[in-house]
């Protein structure tokens, strides 16, 4: 099954209301006077990292990508649960995890370990506390909003390819937790860019039942000669969001497009309608 097919099948199972129909990156659970934000991500050898990768970098990145999803909800992290495959360079993994926990001021809540003899898989559940209600998600973009992105796209791609100036962008990304909290009261929809700008913009458009128009030359990229690759490659963990143009945004961001009524296609790039998500970014399966 492809990732999309599996998700469709999961939606036929009993879903908690906090699952948001499995159309978002996190679960949102009301608990007493708090709203908990819960996310789970994993990284597999051969898919997310090379067999020769430094496990200190893998541990850091596993933590960062989970916290990045919390950032897209404007959440304040509470802690993380770790699923760890024993058998690799476990000490290096612990070193990287320790460094990431210190850098992002997050603590371990618990987890599980398993011994493996084949390819390693590491997983993590991040739990956070909402700082604003309603909690942002992919759904909610309003007609007339602007489409914005933080940072510069394509740095992770260049880092993966060995460009020294961008290696940390791929190996040790930084979740935009403070930026997410600052943006949460102002945005109408928001997510982090993990699978590529075009694919993730398509997902916001689908969830919000609108059309997003993007001017590709307005998107800040790390390599002008490879602009198309920068828009599709992913792994940047910048924030992609919609907000009214009249709002004075609290963080630096670039306006790259506009929200329009739903037309023939969810996404229009430089005037070209894109009617399905195939080839727009990274998808499993």
Helix axes 55-71, 90-104, angle to 10 degrees: 30
Identify the DSSP state of 62. Answer: H
Contacts of 144 (CB under 8 A, 6+ apart): 244, 245, 258, 259
| Residue 284, pLDDT score | 42
Of the candidates 191, 204, 267, which has an alpha carbon nearest to the alpha carbon of residue 236?
191
- For β-strands 146-149 and 239-243, DSSP reports them as antiparallel
Element (H, E) at 71: helix 55-71
Task: Please list the ranges in the chain whose pLDDT falls under 70.
Answer: 279, 281-285
Helix (H/G/I), strand (E/B), else coil: 213: strand
Contact 259, 242 (CB under 8 A): yes
Beta strands across the sheet bearing 272-274: 189-192, 239-243, 146-149, 254-261, 210-214, 267-269, 272-274
pLDDT score of 285: 47
Question: Which structure tokens are listed for 13?
Answer: 């199972």
The end-to-end CA distance of the chain, in Å, is 7
- 3-state DSSP call for residue 5? helix
How confident is the model at residue 279, as a pLDDT? Answer: 65
Domains and CATH numbers, the chain: 3-130 (3.30.1330.10), 146-274 (3.90.650.10)
Average pLDDT value over all residues in the chain: 94
């Amino acid at each position: 099954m492809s990732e999309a097919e599996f998700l469709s099948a999961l939606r036929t199972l009993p879903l908690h209301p906090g699952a948001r129909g499995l159309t978002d990156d996190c679960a949102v659970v009301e608990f007493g006077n708090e709203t908990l934000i819960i996310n789970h991500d994993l990284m597999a050898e051969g898919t997310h990292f090379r067999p020769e990768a430094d496990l200190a970098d893998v541990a850091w990145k596993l933590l960062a990508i989970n916290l990045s999803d919390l950032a897209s909800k404007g959440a304040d992290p509470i802690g993380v649960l770790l699923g760890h495959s024993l058998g690799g360079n476990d000490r290096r993994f612990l070193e990287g995890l320790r460094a990431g926990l210190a850098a992002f001021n997050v603590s371990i809540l618990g987890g599980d370990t398993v011994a493996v003899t084949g390819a390693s898989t590491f997983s993590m559940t991040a739990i956070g506390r909402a700082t604003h209600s309603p909690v942002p998600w992919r759904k909610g973009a309003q007609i007339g909003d602007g489409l914005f992105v933080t940072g510069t796209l394509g740095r992770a791609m260049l880092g993966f390819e060995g460009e020294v100036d961008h290696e940390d962008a791929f190996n040790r990304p930084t979740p935009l937790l403070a930026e997410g909290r600052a943006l949460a009261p102002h945005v109408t929809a928001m997510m982090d860019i993990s699978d590529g700008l075009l694919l993730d913009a398509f997902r916001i458009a689908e969830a919000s039942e609108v059309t997003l128009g993007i001017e590709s030359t307005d998107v800040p990229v790390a390599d002008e000669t490879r602009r198309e690759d920068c828009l599709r490659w992913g792994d940047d963990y910048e924030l992609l969001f919609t907000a009214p143009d009249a709002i004075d945004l609290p963080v630096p961001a670039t306006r790259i497009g506009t929200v329009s009524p739903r037309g023939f296609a969810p996404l229009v790039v430089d005037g070209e309608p894109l009617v399905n998500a195939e080839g727009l970014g990274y998808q499993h399966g």
